[in-house]
Amino acid sequence: MRVDLNADAGESFGAWALGDDAALLESVTSVNVACGFHAGDPSIIRRTIRLAARAGVRVGAHPGYPDLQGFGRRTMALGPGEVEDIVLYQVSAVLGMARAEGVRLAHVKPHGALYNQAARDPALAAAVARAVVSLESGLMLVALAGSALLQAGVDAGLPVAAEAFADRAYLANGTLAPRHLGGAVIRDADVVAARALTIVREGRVRTLEGADVSVRADTLCIHGDTPGAATLARVIRTALEAAGVLVSAPA
């Protein structure tokens, strides 16, 4: 039994700090580094890569929409060509900065609205996968379990990691319950840890409707902007390891 714990990092920008990367890095095994379009700037990207490398945490790129004010969370209608190009640009920038730091960039996980739209839209999903393939760097694509994006990665011959969310309720069709629904976001650390265990060991997760649905989880997402994220990460990791699960980044 093995699972990766991932969190977003490097989400500060200029004078503005966001998240507690140093604390999160003590518990997660992968980080997704914001690439400068929805968050992050060149100096913050570099510092985050250094920090992650020093903590022995796997580094990935976290490209998003060019929407700084909206933090990349607002749905935008970019065409597949535009999406391919912005992903290629952002991942290339972080890949080069990682190389300059002697760090291997290991994966790509789209951010926010891009992640959600590519999970549902096969054309956008294929565009993201094409961008990653064109870098020819052995990069792994991280995508929502069961999504069009995960499938696009497989179709493109990329190594992929299916992502699940222990702190989010699911719907019967295996997608995430929208945040505005009551019970969609689970905040109790012990409940989240218990769900994480069920996901990893039994491959299933409780839906909002009360039944279980199966889910594959190569990696579990820790939301770094949740208050108490670092504590939550530690609780989940401790629970997983106590149950004999190996918490580590994919090879």
> Per-residue x/- mask for a second copy, residues 79 to 98, rule CB under 8 A?
--xx--xx-xxxxxxxxxx-
185 binds a second copy (CB under 8 A): no
Query: Least distance (Å) from a second copy to the CB of residue 98?
Result: 9
Q: Which amino acid belongs to residue 61?
A: A
- Mapped onto helix, strand or coil, the DSSP state of residue 9 is strand
| Binding test (CB under 8 A) with a second copy, winner from 53, 68, 189, 213 | 68
Nearer to a second copy, 113 or 239 (CB): 113
Residues paired with residue 160 on neighbouring β-strands, in sequence order:
141
Q: Is 89 helix (H, G, I), strand (E, B) or coil?
A: helix
- Distance, in Å, from the CA atom of 50 to the CA atom of 144, rounded to the nearest integer, reads 27
| Rounded-to-integer distance, Cα 18 and Cα 111, Å | 16
* List 5, 33, 45, 221, residue binding a second copy (CB under 8 A): 45
Find tokens 């491959």 and name the residue. Answer: 203
Minimal distance in Å, beta carbon 86 to a second copy? 5
Burial classification of residue 4, based on how many CB atoms lie within 10 Å of its CB (0-12 exposed, 13-18 middle, 19 or more buried): buried
Binding of residue 121 to a second copy (CB under 8 A)? no
Nearest to a second copy of 76, 245 (CB atom):
76
- Out of 23, 53, 66, 204, the residue judged to bind a second copy by CB under 8 A: 66
d(CA 58, CA 69): 28
- Residues within the interface to a second copy (CB under 8 A): 12-18, 36, 39, 41-43, 45-46, 66-71, 73-78, 81-82, 85-86, 88-97, 99-100, 113, 131, 134-136, 225
